[in-house]
Structure 1
Amino acid sequence: MPASKHRWFVPGDLNGFFGLVVDNLSILGFIAAALVGIFAMPADVVFQRMFPGTAFGVLVGNLVYTVMARRLAAKTGRDDVTAMPLGLDAPTSIGMALLVLGPAFVAFRQGGMEDDAAAIATWQLGAASLVVMGALKFVLSFFGDAVTRIAPRAALLGSIAGIALVLMGFLPLVETFRSPVVGFVTLGLLLYVLFAKGRLPVRLPGVLVAFLVGTALYYGLGLVGLGAPGFALPQGAALHVAIPWPSLAFVEGLPATVPYLPLLLPFGLLMVVGGINVSESARAAGDDYRTRDILLAEAFSTLVAGVCGGVAQTTPYIGQPAYKHMGARSGYTLLTGLFVGIGGMLGVISGLVQWLPLAVLAPIIVYVAIDITVQAFQATPSKHAAAMVLGFLPSVAYLVAIKAGNPAWIAPEQFARLATTVDGHGLPELAVILALGNGFIITSMLWISTVVAMIDGRLLRAAVCLLVAAALALFGLIHSVDPRGGIYLPWELQGLPAVVMGQFVGAYVVLAAVLGLLSLQKPQVGAAAPTGGAGADQEPSGM
């Protein structure tokens, strides 16, 4: 069937549109809250310089993914092809705000700059950071298909399921229950219309109805004094036109990126790994996009955002099967791209970020997290379930590290003391948590691949996975002993950080040696031959 005969919009696209827009709005809301609320950056720079370029990257990426979906539909003759959702990446956007942009703004001010000048310099640094990460992602995009062929499906899906359950599920659930009546009612309605496929008395998209009910509850209860403590009407933002024209602003920010490269390079690498995983997730749901093309589109949209003044990188979201279950096809990414992109230029997005309560935005992310986790178990061999559950645990460490590193919870000096105090029972507990959380996506993939190989009787393959992990841990690509998650040269470390690094590397090497020795055993008579999982199509052949 020619692409022109495929419908541009179906009813499910409205559900997908509202869900994807909410994802992006929630991340933009966090960036604004961090930069303006925590670091006191001038709001006009955030809303009129950072947001338009960031939103334009979302527009470009979603347009590209819409075209890819329509081409796949035309090629296969199917009407149920769902576009890959694209938006702002939550973990690295949080990292950019809290670890790069905010501290840089403070440093510029301490260096003698006025607030406005410091904010402009920070904006230029953010744009340059996106160009650096986009360039890295572009180069690494050409290796995505090879990783997909090598890594077992359990590793690709299990690693993102851990992110979904722990970070996308738990953290938004906390926000949901900060206004319990509003959040729980919104979440319940979403589960009713999306999981239970329940009917509503009005002919409107179920996701929209849930948002309208939740928003009405939030402001209605708040105005009569029955809302959650701290309720206040936002001041709102005036509409303004800020066209994200391409510029060389990022060039002026490039020198300032050098101290942050140990953070920016892992941020870009994590998005490549995540893009590989979500491509496999979409493939498991029935939409066979080429991994390289998904990654190239992601890199291109990030580069465009950086050149146009954006400060948060784009990524394909891990909820493509969830949007498919909503009934979305290719129209929802087109609508999302246009709404976020044009709304970012006109100031609409800035206003919505301030007016939509988090208790209403968070439940849709909880739904997507549940759906992703369910798919990971359904699309992989049941015998690999234990490997995937193990792969969830690095995400738990990252979650604890995020909360423990919040200076509003633990004073920085107390945090440093906890991370360096030895109690005679091993490495400092907080130091271990930080190391387990840094590089958690790659750690999860390697752990799952190792256990899958053990289950399948491929002990040499498992040993190779462990040696790869040891090499990455040596340079801080996983288990970084830098509290910010940066990379380093191992011979530059001293004291406790060197000990922690050496212990983690040694653990991988010793276990690899043990598995290598175990592989020398003679096979038991009558034992089943090693398999690749639930069929040759599930995993590549290997050692």
Structure 2
Amino acid sequence: IYFWWQGRCLARRERRHDVCAQPFGINTPDVFSFIFNIMAVVAKQRGHVDAYSAGLVANLMSGVVTIAVVPIGNWVKNHFPKPALFSALAGIAITFLAFGPFLNMYSTPFVSLVPTFVLLLLLFAKVELPGKCPAIIFQWVLSIAMGWLARLIGGSIGAQFAATTFAEWQAQDSGFHLPSLAVRGLYQGFEVGLQYASVWLPLAVVAVAEIIINVSITHDVGKDPFSLRETLVVNSATSFAGTLLGTPFPAVTFIGHPTFKELGGRTGYSLLQGVVLFLLAMFGGFTLLLTFIPQQAFYPM
């Protein structure tokens, strides 16, 4: 929601109507690394509670590293060669964002791979769908339809797409769920969490490089000159707030702003995304979605 407001402020300041908000969301590479290289290790040694607390500390320290770079962020942006910053981003994207979903797509080709080929054809051929429907939405609907078709077919194909039943969701996750403060867990995790600085410190540095290069891209390619200092502060603040509310996983500014803008995205999508995700989290909506949508439909996205 903040990045929607940031985009609106830039649009008013420059008297433009084509400003696109910066993409923002969960830092997927950090999620995998925190789970497998910190929390899973601590869970085996000291139990699940300490593992969760160590994850909270890792998230908090990621925010500390980000806020520490704020005074020198613009200097790094202007003096460091962009290919050096891009290398970290490219390595993370290939290793964590592409490789896993790519393998999963080939393991479920009926639902994932066929719609992906359709999506690529639509994007590269620049086909305009009826009602200006985005190609990614068409691919998603196609994946869902094929997943439900697989369920109806049954057998070994349909068994891959079994999801949580509505009754299970109603019994376990329905209702209103407010987040609770995790101060005690954070305090208990400092001793063990700081021992894994060799994991969270390099990842935090890579995240900062990602933020810097993404802001550069929004200016050079997307023609939206957002403040790097402000973006770093907001990224850090979300890590602090998320840690206090109990999440061990940081969020980060995403790559892809020029693509969002080319596809027609402006600032409203960021507000809509924030509101929808908030409501889904508060009411257990993510589990509900998986009762109707095969998980494999998300892989191409």
TM-score (norm 2): 0.87
Residue 264 of structure 1 aligns to which amino acid in structure 2?
Answer: W
Q: 1:158 to 1:247 in 2, by over 3 A?
A: closer
Give the total of aligned pairs: 293
Residues 46-84 of structure 1: CA distance to partner in whole angstroms, max 9, x if unpaired? xxxxxxxxxxxxxxxxx2211111111112222111111
The yes-or-no answer on 1:181 pairing with 2:106 is no
Aligned to 2:30: 92
Match of 1:321 in 2: 258
Per-residue CA shift, 1:365-389, capped at 9, x if unaligned? xxxxxxxxxxxxxxxxxxxxxxxxx
Give the residue type in structure 2 aligned to 1:106.
K
Q: Deviations over 1:127-158 (max 9, x none)?
A: 23212221221112222111111123333345
**Which amino acid letter does the alignment assign opposite residue 78 of structure 1?**
R
Q: Who is 2:55 aligned against?
A: 126
Q: In structure 1, how many angstroms separate the alpha carbons of the residues matched to 2:41 and 2:162?
A: 29
Match of 2:46 among 79, 98, 108: 108
Structure-2 residue corresponding to 1:263: 199
Residues 1:244 and 2:179 are matched in the alignment: yes
Shift of 1:202: 5.8
Deviations 1:305-332 (A, max 9, x none): 0010011110111121221122111111
- 2:18 corresponds to 1:80: yes
Q: Would the alpha carbon gap of residues 283 and 159 (structure 1) be closer, same or farther in structure 2, given more than 3 Å must change?
A: farther
Is the alpha carbon distance of 1:175 and 1:325 closer, same or farther for their aligned partners in structure 2, counting shifts above 3 Å? Answer: farther
Amino acid of the residue matched to residue 236 of structure 2?
Answer: A
CA deviations over 1:218-276 (Å, ceiling 9, x no partner): 12123313774851412243323221144413223222312222212222222111111
CA drift of 1:354 comes to 6.8
Choose from 113, 117, 120 the match for 1:191: 120
Partner of 1:223: 152
Q: Distance in 2 between matches of 1:324 and 1:87?
A: 17
For structure 2, the residue ranges without an aligned partner over 5 or more in a row are: none
Question: For residues 354 and 301 of structure 1, do their structure 2 counterparts lie closer, same or farther at Cα, with a shift above 3 Å needed?
Answer: farther
Q: Which has the larger radius of gyration?
A: 1
Q: Tell me the distance in 1 between the aligned counterparts of 2:252 and 2:237.
A: 10
| 8 Å Cα contact 1:222-1:232 kept in structure 2 | yes
Asked if 2 retains the 8 angstrom alpha-carbon contact of 1:190 and 1:206, the reply is yes
Which one scores higher on RCO, CA 8 angstroms, separation ≥ 6? 2
Is the Cα–Cα contact under 8 Å of residues 157 and 280 in structure 1 kept in the other structure?
Answer: no
- Give secondary structure in 2 for the equivalent of 1:222: helix
- Where does residue 211 of structure 2 map in the other structure? 275
Within the candidate set 68, 87, 109, 1:139 is matched to 68
The equivalent of 1:447 in structure 2 is: none
Distance 1:166 1:305 in 2: 25
Output the CA distance in 2 between the equivalents of 1:186 and 1:256. 44
- Is the 8 Å Cα contact of residues 126 and 311 (structure 1) preserved in structure 2? yes
Tell me, in whole angstroms, the C-alpha distance in 1 between the residues paired with 2:209 and 2:231.
12
Mark the CA change 1:312 to 1:353 in structure 2 (over 3 Å): closer, same or farther: farther
Tell me, in whole angstroms, the C-alpha distance in 2 between the residues paired with 1:282 and 1:202.
Answer: 28
Contact between 1:218 and 1:227, CA under 8 Å: does it hold in 2?
no
- CA change 1:252–1:75 in 2 (3 A) is same
After superposition, the C-alpha distances for 1:397-426 in whole angstroms (9 at most, x for unaligned) are xxxxxxxxxxxxxxxxxxxxxxxxxxxxxx
Q: 1:194 to 1:297 in 2, by over 3 A?
A: farther
Is the 2:147–2:161 Cα contact (8 Å) retained in structure 1? no
- The aligned counterpart of 1:307 is 244
In the alignment, which residue of structure 2 is the partner of 1:151? 80
Distance 1:314 1:354, change over 3 A: farther
Whether the 8 Å CA contact 2:28–2:96 is kept in 1: the answer is: no
- CA distance in 2 between counterparts of 1:97 and 1:247 reads 18
Q: Which residue of 2 aligns with 1:361?
A: 298
> Do 1:344 and 1:350's aligned partners in 2 also have CA atoms closer than 8 Å?
no
CA contact (8 A) 1:343 1:349 kept: yes
Deviation per CA, 1:3-51, whole angstroms, max 9, x where unpaired? xxxxxxxxxxxxxxxxxxxxxxxxxxxxxxxxxxxxxxxxxxxxxxxxx
Contiguous gaps of at least 5 residues in structure 1: 1-62, 110-117, 365-543
Deviation at residue 185 of structure 1 after TM alignment: 3.0
Q: Give the aligned residue type for 1:68.
A: Q
AA partner of residue 137 (structure 2): L
- Between structures 1 and 2, the one with greater helix share: 2
Match of 1:168 in 2: 97
Letter in 2 for 1:73: A
Could you tell me whether the CA contact under 8 Å between 2:150 and 2:158 is conserved in 1?
A: no
**Conserved? CA contact 2:19–2:224, under 8 Å:** yes
CA shift in 2, pair 1:71/1:203, >3 Å: closer
Separation (CA, whole Å) in 2 of partners of 1:179 and 1:78: 44
d(CA) in 1 for partners of 2:156, 2:132: 29
Instruction: Note closer, same or farther for the CA distance 1:187–1:69 as it changes in structure 2 (3 Å cut).
Output: same
Query: Matches of 1:247 and 1:98 in 2, distance apart?
Result: 22
| Amino acid in the other structure paired with 1:221 | A
- Structure-2 separation of matches of 1:68 and 1:339: 19
Contact preservation (8 Å) 2:163, 2:290: no
Instruction: Report the CA distance shift for 1:297/1:167 in structure 2 as closer, same or farther (over 3 A).
Output: same
Aligned mates of 1:354, 1:140 — CA distance in 2: 43
> Which runs of structure 2 are paired with 1:426-505 in the superposition (5 Å)?
none
Compute the displacement of 1:191 (Å): 2.7
Distance in 2, Cα, partners of 1:147 & 1:203 = 40
| Backbone CA RMSD of aligned residues | 2.4
Cα separation, 1, equivalents of 2:82 and 2:57: 35
Contact 2:180 2:245 in 1 (8 A): yes
Shift of 1:106: 2.2
* 2: CA distance, partners of 1:227 / 1:141: 53
